[in-house]
Amino acid sequence: MKFITVHQLLHHVFFLLLATAAVRCQVNPEMCRYPLGMTGGQIQDEDISASSQWSESTAARFGRLDLDNGDGDGAWCPDIMSEPDGLKEYLQVDLRSLHFITLVGTQGRHADGMGNEFAQRYRIKYSRDGTNWVGWHDRKGRQVIEGNRNAYDVVLKDLEPPIIARFVRFMPVTDHSMIVCMRVELYGCEWLDGLMSYSIPDGHQMIYRGLDVYFNDSVYDGASAERLTKGLGQLTDGTWGLDDFLHSHMYGMWPGYDFVGWSNRSFPKGYVEMIFEFDHVRNFTSMKVHCNNMFSRGVRMFRQAGCYFRSGSDWEAEPVTFRPSVDRVSQSARFVTVPLGDRTASAIKCRFHFSDMWMLFSEIAFQSGSAVYNNSLTPRKHGHPTNTLPADDPTHKVDDSNTRILIGCLVAIIAILLTIIVIILWRQVWQKMLEKASRRMLDDELTARLAVQTQAFSSQHSSLTSEGGSTSNSTYERIFPLCADYQEPSRLIRKLPEFAQSTDHLDSGSSSKALPATVSDGAPHYAEADIISLQEASDSGTNSTTAVSMNLFAGTESSMREFPRHKLTFKEKLGEGQFGEVHLCEAEGMQDFLDEDLAVDENSDSPLLVAVKTLREDANKNARNDFLKEIRIMSRLRDPNIVRLLAVCVDTDPLCMITEYMENGDLNQFLCSLRRKQFQEDNKTEQEEKEGKSMVSKLIGMAVQIASGMKYLSSLNFVHRDLATRNCLVGKNFTIKIADFGMSRNLYRGDYYRIQGRAVLPIRWMSWESILLGKFTMASDVWAFGVTLWEILTLCKEQPYSQLSDEQVIENTGEFFRDQGKQVYLPKPPYCPDSVYNDLMLSCWRRNAKQRPSFQEIHAHLMESLA
Ligand code: AMP
């Protein structure tokens, strides 16, 4: 048995009622506002498509507006980098039949606090046949819709005018190629008329007592030449004009706005001809025309309507003719019902004869019978429709007999609608309260429970140094034994009681038990292993920064030049990375690929030495996409302290990126070798002491270069997320360049970044807010810079916080959060000048991210200390 939710049940009941009501009257936009099935799942996955997707887990099918998290990675996110102007990306919904759409809702990606991408602005395109697409614009011609301000809230936008379409595309407007993600819902009801288009002569302009009155069809969405053709517009927008045509329902519109009208003088034959095309052959019972009848101003409803029918290629000779009785009393605008005698047709041509100087229509609707009604929801009943103002209509009596039923029906619908609104509002309010409460709880709990822990932690911490060599009985399971730099914070954080539903059984003491130093000399060095990075818990860190961080893609070329693979000659293996191996190669003719600013000191004809990073042949699709994304990121970075991507080989496998060769490898290894050279002997001579001091200025010189590279990245609002000595490369003459944009590339969680389904992050370089809140910002890069500076000035003698286990690092993070003076800072490196430690390094680790220095300030400070 299939179970359905209350929400779905209401959907069905409501839709049934709406459809029944629609038998009797044309669409009423105020009622026709029901979710069309993105949220409730009535729209199938295969009917949701997109121009592109950032990754499998942000595919189109995840673009369903949802009060919870959303599936996958929480939203549809286009691969905006494949389309640098970002304007052609879209999420498409196929509603399978024509719908009258009155409202759209959008929401961003929050992924339960781990994401912060949303579309601030977007446009809508729609199509009735899947081939001809129309850009929606409001009644004043504005196409761009103001979207979301944050990743959580649903923003609803009334479509004025509404859309009649089967296909709808949401197109985020991304000024600077910002990362955007969307979840959407469409609201409306099925368009039962089946009218695909109408063709009319466009309306005329009246001058009434010196006032310009425009009766044009201003929202017509088809072609406009001599006649308006192949579109729908004001006559089907569900808005009926007022009795006084000079006034409008819509605020700020021009006189005559609600009506499409024609002057008798322009039609020598005395009638206006309109052609209506339908989706398929139908059995027409009637047509309702909303007419103005302000005869004191020369406007009257039509004198006669003659309608011809066509099922195949030719119009049938026999028309249906109808003459409404003339109303010389009431000037009210009204619906006039034209009986169509159950004629069968897929197109109707009606001639409306003038009875005065002007004829003004604001709405036309058709009722067709069930015999050929091909509606998937509810077959329409055979019967006469109802006019709302039928004083002079011959069908009035029939209508009257139905009025009570109609009113009853409408009351029921309104009651259900109100109930639904109350339920939705209640759910939203409840949701918000829950979110707020949970955030507050997180804060309170962090404060309160970390307080409980402090005691245990501090007492244990005092024993840390003495217990340094003992064996651990911790339940913590290292998941990447060769690479102690990257840990799985979600597992570790779970060990903190405030995150630890699953660890309730553990007493807080055991969770903070002291561990031995994780790295000792002689153990495989922490920087030797592959680096596998992930932003499992960190995508909220994108905050505004992820979005903003992608600004750097604006206005630059998106493609890298393809280098002929056969001109690369392998020399040696330099290292192994996340994706594959890095080789030193000679590249023949590479000079032609170099930008002017890249100086080549060798004879320009000799092959250039380059580093070639190759993607493993067996890499999966995600790895491949991410390799390409890293290429895109790197191709746009141009700074003397950022390693430069020179060319790529992506035409065939294996994919390669060719970067400048940095002769001295990564900074971590380089500093280790310096240390070995520098401090081999225990007894230093005076000379060596001096050399030590000059070494410090060399080291600070290196830090200056890293700060300079980071200054450049921060000018682009680009968050690196994994700044550390292992990710910097050393060239000639102590030149340092920042490399490895793996972490900044990994904007979304994906299986690739998990090791056996788990996530790893460089916790010892991460700010407290990155670890606990998943927030990555420029300020968290500053924190990591502080740790990198510490690594440099200690010549990478040991891993940061080497005396703390990974669990204790997380606990210490809790201390940084609480800021009660119990947090443990990295100690001052022996040769580090006081001012560098006290004024700079420590300031990088300030709890308040806003109080941390900017890279500009860091750069200036380090330059000063060099002087
Ligand atoms: P990666 O995958 O970028 O972390 O690179 C792995 C290792 O290869 C690094 O730790 C370096 O030792 C070496 N390597 C990477 N790129 C270069 C380069 N451009 N020049 C010299 N060595 C490099």
Residue 724, ligand 1, Cβ within 6 A: no
Nearest residue CA, atom 8 of ligand 1?
Answer: 575
String of DSSP letters for 622-683: HHHHHHHHHHHHHHT---TTBPPEEEEE-SSSSPEEEEE--TT-BHHHHHHHHHHHHTS-SS
Answer yes or no: are the C-beta atoms of 61 and 43 closer than 8 Å.
no
Q: What does each C-alpha distance from 423 to 185, 346, 417, 418, 578 come to in angstroms?
A: 17, 41, 10, 8, 49
Examine the domain organization and report whether 467 and 359 are in the same domain: no
Lowest pLDDT segment from 198-212, 245-259, 311-325, 494-508 = 494-508
Per the prediction, the chain carries an average pLDDT of 76
- 225/292 same-domain check: yes
Cβ atoms of 73 and 111 closer than 8 Å: yes
Pairing type for strands 91-107 and 34-35 reads unpaired
Where does the pLDDT of residue 591 fall: very low under 50, low under 70, confident under 90, or very high at 90 and above? Answer: confident
Give residue-wise pLDDT tens across range 628-639.
878 888 888 999
Q: Is there a domain that residue 387 lies in?
A: yes
Lowest pLDDT segment from 51-65, 86-100, 683-697, 800-814 = 683-697
pLDDT of residue 855: 96
Average pLDDT over residues 198-209: 94
In this structure, the number of other CB atoms found within 10 A of the CB of residue 600 comes to 12
Asked if the peptide bond before residue 654 counts as cis, ω within 30 degrees of 0, the response is: yes
The tokens describing 212, both together, are: 């310009």
| C-alpha–C-alpha distance, residues 631 and 199, integer Å | 52
On whether the CB atoms of residues 362 and 258 are closer than 8 A, the answer is: yes
Pocket test for ligand 1, best of 574, 631, 744, 796 (most atoms within 8 A of CB): 574
Indicate whether 485 and 341 sit together in one domain: no
Please check whether residue 446 lies inside any domain of the structure: no
pLDDT digits (tens, 9 = 90+) for 127-174: 999 999 999 999 889 999 999 988 888 899 999 999 999 999 999 987
User: Do 179 and 208 fall into the same domain?
Assistant: no
Please say whether the beta carbons of 284 and 342 come within 8 A. Answer: yes
Determine, yes or no, domain membership for 423. no
Instruction: State which ligand 1 atom lies nearest to the alpha carbon of 727.
Output: 4
The answer to whether position 615 is within a domain reads yes
| Domain final residue, candidates 142, 169, 190 | 190
Residue 748's pLDDT band, with cuts at 50, 70 and 90, is very low
Most confident of the following: 616-625, 686-695, 812-821: 812-821
Task: Verify whether ligand 1 is closer than 6 Å to residue 277 (CB atom).
Answer: no
Two tokens at 789?
């500076």
More confident residue, 592 or 304: 304
Confirm if 780 and 793 have CB atoms less than 8 A apart: no
* 263 close to 201: Cβ distance less than 8 angstroms: no
Q: Is 722 in the pocket of ligand 1 (CB under 6 A)?
A: no
Number of domains into which the chain is organized? 3
CA distance 591 to 179: 34
Helix or strand run (H / E) with residue 272? strand 271-291
Q: Is the same domain home to 747 and 818?
A: yes
The torsion region of residue 402 among left (phi > 0), alpha (psi -120 to 50) and beta comes to alpha
Q: Are residues 862 and 754 in the same domain?
A: yes
Residue 769 Cα to ligand 1 midpoint, Å, equals 29
**Final residue in a domain of this structure, among 358, 381, 397:** 397
CA distance 485 to 761: 8
C-alpha to C-alpha distance for 387 and 400, rounded to whole angstroms: 9
In terms of domains, do 342 and 283 share one? yes
Ligand 1 atom nearest the C-alpha of 660 is 19
Q: How would DSSP label each residue in 724-766?
A: SGGGEEE-GGG-EEE---HHHH--S--GGGEETTEE-B-GGGS
pLDDT tens by residue, 606-660: 789 999 999 988 888 777 877 887 888 888 899 999 999 999 999 888 999 999 9
Residues 240 and 151 in one domain: no
Radius of gyration of the chain (CA): 35
Distances (CA, A) of 834 to 531, 839, 841, 842: 33, 8, 10, 11
9 inside domain: no
More confident residue, 84 or 821: 821
Residue whose CA lies nearest to ligand 1 atom number 15: 582
Is the Cβ atom of 810 under 6 angstroms away from ligand 1?
no
Q: Is the CB of 574 under 6 A from ligand 1?
A: yes
Residue 866 CA to ligand 1 centre (angstroms): 28
Determine the distance separating the centroid of ligand 1 and the alpha carbon of 384, expressed in angstroms: 79
Task: Mark 582-598 as b/e (b = at least 16 C-beta within 10 Å).
Answer: bbbbbbbebbebbeeee
483 lines ligand 1 (CB under 6 A): no
CATH (domain of 65): 2.60.120.260
Of 535 and 392, the one with more pLDDT = 392
Whether 722 is a known active-site residue: answer yes
Find the domain containing 801 and state its range.
453-866
Residues 359 and 471 in one domain: no
- Selecting among 722, 740, 781, 806, the annotated active-site residue is 722
Q: Which residues have C-beta within 8 Å of that of residue 827, sequence separation ≥ 6?
A: none
- State whether the beta carbon of 661 lies less than 6 angstroms from ligand 1: yes
| Minimum CA distance residue for ligand 1 atom 21 | 662
Mean pLDDT of 20-34: 63
Q: How far is the CA of 60 from the centre of ligand 1 (A)?
A: 36
Question: Does the pLDDT of residue 403 top 90, yes or no?
Answer: no
Considering the domain boundaries, does residue 757 fall inside one? yes
Cβ–ligand 1 distance for 221 under 6 Å, the answer no
Q: Which residue has the higher pLDDT, 623 or 434?
A: 623
Co-location of 493 and 473 in the same domain: yes
Whether 290 and 335 have beta carbons less than 8 Å apart is answered as yes
Q: 582 CB contacts (<8 Å, ≥6 apart)? A: 573, 574, 575, 576, 611, 612, 613, 614
| Residue 725, ligand 1, Cβ within 6 A | no
Q: Is residue 11 part of a domain?
A: no
Q: Is 815 in the pocket of ligand 1 (CB under 6 A)?
A: no
pLDDT of residue 445: 41
C-beta of 587 in contact with ligand 1 (< 6 A): no
| Distances, alpha carbon 543 to alpha carbons 111, 626, 717, in Å | 12, 21, 12
For the Cβ of 89 lying below 6 angstroms from any atom of ligand 1, the answer is: no
Q: In testing the pocket of ligand 1, which one of 531, 658, 729, 740 has its CB within 8 Å of the most ligand atoms?
A: 729
CA 527 to ligand 1: nearest atom: 10
Q: Is 530 in a helix, a strand, or coil? A: coil
Q: pLDDT band at 352, cuts 50/70/90? A: very high
For the whole model, what pTM was predicted?
A: 0.48
Q: Residue whose CA is closest, atom 23 of ligand 1?
A: 665
Contacts of 540 (CB under 8 A, 6+ apart): 110, 111, 113, 114, 115, 116, 773, 774, 775
- Domain boundary among the residues 353, 382, 397 is at 397
Burial 515-540 (b: 16+ CB within 10 A, else e): bbbbeeeeeebbbebebbbbbbbbbb
Rounded Cα distance, 200 and 352, in Å: 11
User: Which protein residue has the closest C-alpha to ligand 1 atom 1?
Assistant: 577
Closest-lying ligand 1 atom to the alpha carbon of residue 577: 2
| Cα 632 to averaged position of ligand 1 atoms, centre (Å) | 18
Supply the CATH number for residue 595's domain. 1.10.510.10
End-to-end CA distance of the chain: 79
Residue 841, Cβ density class (10 Å: 0-12 exposed, 13-18 middle, ≥19 buried): buried
5 CA → ligand 1 middle, Å: 54
- HEC string for 126-168: EECCCCCEEECCCCCCCCCEECCCCCCCCEEEEEEEEEEEEEE
Given the DSSP bridges, would you call strands 758-759 and 227-231 parallel, antiparallel or unpaired?
unpaired
Which range among 22-36, 48-62, 160-174, 841-855 shows the weakest confidence by mean pLDDT?
22-36
Query: CA angle, corner 625, sides to 619 and 629, nearest 5?
Result: 125
CATH number of 274's domain: 2.60.120.1190
At residue 777 the predicted structure's pLDDT band, cuts being 50, 70 and 90, is confident
Which tens digit of pLDDT belongs to each residue from 578-589? Answer: 668 899 999 998
- Does the CB atom of residue 582 touch ligand 1 within 6 A? yes
Q: Whose CA is nearest to atom 10 of ligand 1?
A: 666
Do strands 754-755 and 758-759 pair parallel, antiparallel, or not at all (unpaired)?
antiparallel
Q: 378: pLDDT confidence band, cut at 50, 70 and 90?
A: very low
Same domain, 708 and 826: yes
- Residue 759 CA to ligand 1 center (angstroms) comes to 23
Pocket-testing residue among 648, 666, 728, ligand 1, by greatest number of atoms within 8 A of Cβ: 666
Q: Is 701 in the pocket of ligand 1 (CB under 6 A)?
A: no
Q: Is residue 571 part of a domain?
A: yes
Confidence band for 478, pLDDT divided at 50, 70 and 90: very low
Q: How far is the centre of ligand 1, averaged over its atoms, from the C-alpha of 554 (Å)?
A: 28
Q: Are residues 120 and 91 in the same domain?
A: yes
